[in-house]
Structure 1
């Protein structure tokens, strides 16, 4: 008979089918070993018991590791605190039914200095007990390959999952009601974060950071992120769906984000980042952000709607440069007061500053500016070509503050731009007429040609 994986898991946990070991093997075991692993209840754990069962779980994990076997936790509630996973640990529960709740408000599970560890089918519940910053329900440090699948992280007093110097995969899991963030990774080693659901976090959703700028190579793909607040305030460090800091070579692809207090995807000082095919609706600041000391970012094929600003690629003053913004749709960028802000910001489809190509985008209903090329002296080697800008205050604005300028504005379609199709500015103030209607000596170094204006 061919058994499906689901059937095997079910029968392994519930004992509906029993595959017997040879007599010699049975005589050497302290607890039954089914076709998938050790039954934790045979090693002293009791589903639904009111007492702290941390030591029993620690012992059972040790026994399973000695025998290179997974440990199976049947459905039920277990009070657990600060249990350390042994190397090679494989802890398996029944999705949605095996619940580990914090015994003392601290971490439930800890993985430290391991080659491998694997967890699946568990609910980790922090009971919303406040805990120190970046304390997590599951804390992993220096794990070569951590595999997390089908876990639920709920009601964390700070963070759901912290990873320090870890590689591996975090997939098909959910993070609900975190006081701070869902997942915080520092100095990861080619981590994959894929097809997870993140909801109702106090400050951030998914954070991939490095202690020093470097090649991180994480992949953040196909996650759903909803309702991220900025309870701790600040001007950008909180309120983000996905946050990179100093993490280079990261791919952020195919994520869906909704209702983030500040930004859907924020890249601070991460070079070589690719932000591809994401969808975001409703945020309080810029939907996509590349800022400070980044070098090289691609934002392509994204759909961003209902934000103060569609995208901001900025901070030449800190070395931020080299970008492609292509084939994106930006709709309804309307100037507004960001959370914890004092004055209205935004109203811009996209803003870029240095060595940047803005091409093939469709931008509609930007209350102030469709495409902003430079600010103050931060304007260098810019191209805006082949875009469609419709219903904007100004179609394309270009900063004329730098003494030496090099910009190309060509082959764009600009319609219903109330303040002009292409206009030169100084510190946000209009200083030329519409450059699509005729040249202006003040705009030397800016080529404006072949644009269709209506």
Structure 2
């Protein structure tokens, strides 16, 4: 045997001995929890995997561990339980994807109420598809100042996976899959962060951030992968959204990769001071990104929307919706589809805005309708559309010319391949002017169309 073969044989022998020693050490260890120094071992506290219901034993062990200021460590295996309370100070630790708690009857599986801090790490919570309401969770949190879920899986929720009311904290590095309603529902949150999670195959919504009344929320939804969100219960937009923000101010939705939402990738409804930035939004069934109804202040920037009935909508000036920037987005492949609230087809719009909005530096390509549209009927005020590239759309830019509209400027855009015209004036859905990019906007007070490059 040559030197190379001898050296390789010695490395193999050492690896074998090392693994054998590790296995022997684990076999000799008195408890799995020795991997977490200072923890309370679940088995020694009477919590053991198997067919028997562990609700009482788990509840007692959690209380003991919290009272002593120790984590509770559960070994790999399946534990069946229901309606287990998580006391203040709970730290529940398992082996990721191996420690599994299954709902054994009417839920929730776990709940925390009025706690300062509760933490779960490395456990799988399985709701068993047991039917429950939209605001009933596999895990329910109420008035928890700091909830930490790290490397947690929540699967097969018959209602909502995580139902949180007045909760702050972080859900990170977790997987939520196959919920009947939403992956996560937060009402009146206290600065909740949802980051680096995989959320998929939920039948009505992904992440819902909502408040009872309009007010500051401070939630962050960032760096998540959200896929295949349905709209099982139908409606005109309250279902079918990867991220749904309602009445919650000061929310950041950023850097998420969103695919195949039945309706919208990110929908912000009556949400003041919302930032929707740097998201990848593919194959949305309705509008890709929405700021709608009574909002004031929205930043929509750096997003890529590819495949949607409409790309970006900043709408409902009639309900007080106003004040936004739409900057640096790429929006492409917008299609027409059946209207949900009336007969016929509609949509096909790249970017639509109404009041107090700057639209600049965007690229819109292949819209079945209008590339960028300003206003709807009389609902238009203080809009500038400048420095955009608009390619291969039916109409490049549409602008409302109904009596009483406010000022609008369309300038410095490159508009190519428009089938019906580069810049057209509209009365509601009807084009009523020749191409304003060629003939100017004389006769329409407050409207400026200048220095566009139509080809």
Could you tell me the TM-score, scaled by structure 1's length?
A: 0.92
The 5-angstrom pairing of residues 65-214 of structure 1 reads 65-214=66-215
Against the structure 1 CA distance between its residues 64 and 15, is the aligned structure 2 distance closer, same or farther, given a 3 Å change threshold?
A: farther
**CA separation in 2, counterparts of 1:97 and 1:370?**
50
* SS at 1:403 equivalent: coil
* Cα distance per residue 1:286-338 (max 9 Å; x no partner): 00001111100010000001110001110001100001000000010111126
What's the counterpart of residue 308 of structure 1? 309
Residue in 2 aligned with 1:421?
422
- Structure number having the greater strand percentage: 1
Task: Give the 3-state SS of the residue equivalent to 1:283 in structure 2.
Answer: coil
CA distance in 1 between counterparts of 2:208 and 2:51 reads 35
Residue in 1 that maps onto 2:246:
245
Q: How do residues 7-406 of structure 1 correspond to structure 2 at under 5 angstroms?
A: 35-47=37-49, 49-337=50-338, 343-406=344-407
Q: CA deviation at 1:341?
A: 7.4
Contact 1:338 1:344 in 2 (8 A): yes
Deviation at 1:106, TM superposition (A): 1.1
Structure 1 counterpart of 2:409: 408
CA contact (8 A) 1:228 1:259 kept: yes
Let me know the Cα RMSD of the aligned residues: 1.9
Give the alignment of 1:430-441 within 5 angstroms. 430-441=431-442
| Post-superposition CA distance 1:223-260 (Å, at most 9, x none) | 11100110111000000000000000111000010000
Deviation, structure 1 residue 405: 2.8
Superposed CA deviations along residues 106-142 of structure 1, whole A, max 9, x for unmatched, are 1110000001110010111011111123110000000
Query: CA separation in 1, counterparts of 2:384 and 2:444?
Result: 15
Quick check: 2:134–2:182 contact (8 Å CA) kept in 1?
A: no
Change (3 A) 1:328 1:443: same
CA contact (8 A) 1:151 1:173 kept: yes
Do the aligned partners of 2:125 and 2:153 also contact (CA within 8 Å) in 1?
yes
Question: How has the CA–CA distance of structure 1 residues 91 and 15 changed in structure 2, closer, same or farther, with 3 Å as cutoff?
Answer: farther
Q: How many residues align?
A: 432
How far 1:283 sits from its partner (Å)?
1.1
Native 8 Å contact 1:102 1:126 kept in 2: yes
Sort the Cα spacing of 1:420 and 1:302 in 2 relative to 1 into closer, same or farther, 3 A.
same
Shift of the 87–369 alpha-carbon distance from structure 1 to 2, 3 Å rule, reads same
2:18 maps to none
Change over 3 Å in CA distance of 1:134–1:15 after alignment to 2: farther
Q: Secondary structure at the match of 1:61?
A: helix
Distance 1:18 1:103 in 2: 29
Q: Could you tell me how far apart the structure 1 residues matched to 2:445 and 2:27 are? A: 80
The whole-number CA distance in structure 2 between the counterparts of 1:33 and 1:197 is: 27
**Structure 1 358/16 Cα, relative in aligned 2: closer, same or farther at 3 Å?**
farther
Q: Taking structure 1 as reference, are residues 262 and 17 closer, same or farther at Cα in structure 2, changes over 3 Å only?
A: same
* Structure 1 residues 145 and 377: CA distance shift in structure 2, 3 A: same
Unaligned runs of 5+ in 1: 1-9, 20-30
- 58 and 14 in structure 1: CA distance in 2 versus 1, 3 angstrom threshold: farther
| 1:403 CA drift (Å) | 2.0
Deviation at 1:440, TM superposition (A): 4.4
